[in-house]
C-alpha cells in the first residue's frame, strides 16, 4: 500500500517546497516587482530573467531536500532511505507493505 503513496507524497513535498517561500522577498506573480528585485534574480544582468535564473533558489532548496534523504551521498534515494524518510514523517512502512 505504501508504494501507492509515494507519488502523492513526493508531489506534496514538491508543492510544499515551492510554496514555502523559497523565493521570499520576491513578488513574482504580483504586479509590483521592483527593479531591485529583478536585478537580484537576473544573475547575468542582461535585463531579462531566464527560467534558470527564476528557478535557481527553488532548485537549490529541492537539492538540499534530496541530499537530506540521500543519507549515503551516492546521488540516489534507495528504498531504505525512502522508508526511513517515511518513518520519520509518521508513515509506518512495515505495516503497509
Signed CA dihedral, 41, 42, 43, 45: sign only: negative
Q: In the predicted model, what is the mean pLDDT of residues 19-42?
A: 58
Q: Environment class of residue 28 by beta-carbon count within 10 Å: exposed (0-12), middle (13-18) or buried (19+)?
A: exposed
Judge if pTM exceeds 0.85.
no
What's the pLDDT score for residue 26?
47
Is 30 a residue whose pLDDT tops 60?
A: no
CA–CA separation, 42 and 40 (whole Å): 6
| CA-based nearest residue to 87, from 64, 71, 63, 74 | 71
Q: In the predicted model, what is the mean pLDDT of residues 61-79?
A: 96
What's the pLDDT score for residue 7?
54
Q: In the predicted model, what is the mean pLDDT of residues 2-20?
A: 52
Match 523565493 to its residue by C-alpha cell: 23
Amino acid at each position: 500500500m505504501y508504494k501507492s503513496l509515494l507519488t502523492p507524497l513526493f508531489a506534496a513535498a514538491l508543492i510544499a517546497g515551492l510554496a514555502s517561500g523559497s523565493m521570499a522577498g520576491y513578488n513574482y506573480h504580483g504586479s509590483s516587482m521592483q527593479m531591485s528585485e529583478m536585478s537580484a534574480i537576473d544573475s547575468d544582468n542582461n535585463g531579462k530573467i531566464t527560467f534558470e535564473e527564476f528557478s535557481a533558489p527553488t532548485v537549490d532548496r529541492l537539492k538540499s531536500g534530496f541530499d537530506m534523504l540521500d543519507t549515503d551521498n551516492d546521488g540516489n534515494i534507495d528504498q531504505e532511505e525512502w522508508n526511513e524518510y517515511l518513518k520519520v514523517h509518521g508513515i509506518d512502512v512495515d505495516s503497509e507493505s
